[in-house]
Amino acid sequence: MMAAQKRSGLRGALRHDEPMNRHTSWRVGGTVDRYYQPADIDDLAMFFSQLDEHESITWVGLGSNLLVRDGGIRGTVIATSGMLNGLSKIGEMTVRAEAGVACAKVARFCARQSLQGAEFLAGIPGTMGGALAMNAGAFGGETWNIVSAVETLDHTGNIRRRLPADYTIAYRSVKGPKNEWFVAAELTLQAGDSEISQAKIKEFLNKRGNTQPIQQPNAGSVFKNPAGDYAARLIEASGLKGYCIGGACVSGKHANFIVNTGNATAADIENLIAHVAKTVEQQHGIVLECEVRIIGEALV
């Protein structure tokens, strides 16, 4: 925990006992001990330099792909959305996007710059930081296919520039240096036609709206697609569309989505995730791997 006398010089906002249901797309979750909204990357580096080295750090962007348990989170949450929001063209074919920029905003920006290859980002309901951390993908594209470099921050406030070769990248998986977090990415794209790219983005967004329950609180796809198959197909074939535990239900629109119908708890959602995985394994012999990060403490 930061000592009070060490907080001088910080320009961001620090809040205590912040309810995480305000900051997750499922609209559930208990409180976090400390919630910091940095003014920019330099301010965040200063914040980190003042933290105890054993402080637990959790990063949250738009709060999608994240389930915070009802007992909340011990330690500090770094809130990037709307804060680490730098987005600029830094070369003829290269765009720099900070971790708090929404993926859809990056897609539109690249299209306006007549750069193609980032259109798929419009289908990812999160920020660039989360997309980098899990190699998020949509509509056949994956984040790290267009990443040429990243900027990271470590627990002591040091900023580094790293290359994709420093990481092991796979489907919805990124492994690299420990105790470093992504604060920005450089995306190298191809010359394209702005109107064609914007039309493709519109098509992707329409498809997302038609096939996903975007009008209800959800966290995006819950399970990774197993090799050669689709999680949604397996869940639907198991008769689970519309199945509910408490206020959490498997979406009737897309079986790989779980929605909060209004009064779900994090425990309802976690129990439903477990039930779906168990049922699919029993009926199809396939173990579904959860794509959603589940963090925090359960209520006793």
Average pLDDT over residues 286-300: 95
The better pLDDT of the pair 282, 1 is held by: 282
Q: Is 161 a catalytic residue?
A: no
Residues in the chain: 300
pLDDT at 84: 97
What does the buried/exposed string (b/e) look like for 213-248 if buried means 16 or more CB atoms within 10 Å of the residue's CB?
beebbbbbbbbbbbeeeebbebbbebebbebebebb
**Is residue 251 annotated as part of the catalytic site, yes or no?**
no
Does the pLDDT at position 8 exceed 90?
no
Identity at 270, one-letter amino acid code: E
**Res. 4 pLDDT band, cuts 50 70 90:** very low
Beta strands in 49-178 (DSSP E): 57-60, 66-68, 73-79, 87-89, 94-98, 115-116, 137-138, 141-142, 147-154, 159-162, 168-170, 173-175
Buried b (16+ CB within 10 A) or exposed e, 69-99: bbbbbebbbbbbbebbbebeeeeeebbbbbb
Q: Is 238 labeled as catalytic in the residue annotation? A: no
How far apart CA 176 and CA 91 sit, in angstroms, is 26
Domains of the chain: 4-79 (3.30.43.10), 87-211 (3.30.465.10), 231-295 (3.90.78.10)
Mean pLDDT of 170-188: 95
**Model pLDDT for residues 148-157, shown as the tens digit of each residue:** 999 999 989 9
Of 25, 64, 197, 221, which one is the catalytic site residue? Answer: 221
Binned at pLDDT 50, 70 and 90, residue 7 comes out as low
Question: 249 has which bridge partners?
Answer: 244, 259
Active-site entry in 98, 186, 270, 291: 291
Render pLDDT for 86-111 as a digit per residue (tens, 0 to 9): 999 999 999 999 999 999 999 999 99
Which among 15, 27, 172, 293 is annotated as catalytic? Answer: 172
Q: Which residues are registered as beta bridge partners of 188? A: 94
Q: How confident is the model at residue 134 (pLDDT cuts 50, 70, 90)?
A: very high
As a whole number of Å, the CA-based R_g of the chain is: 19
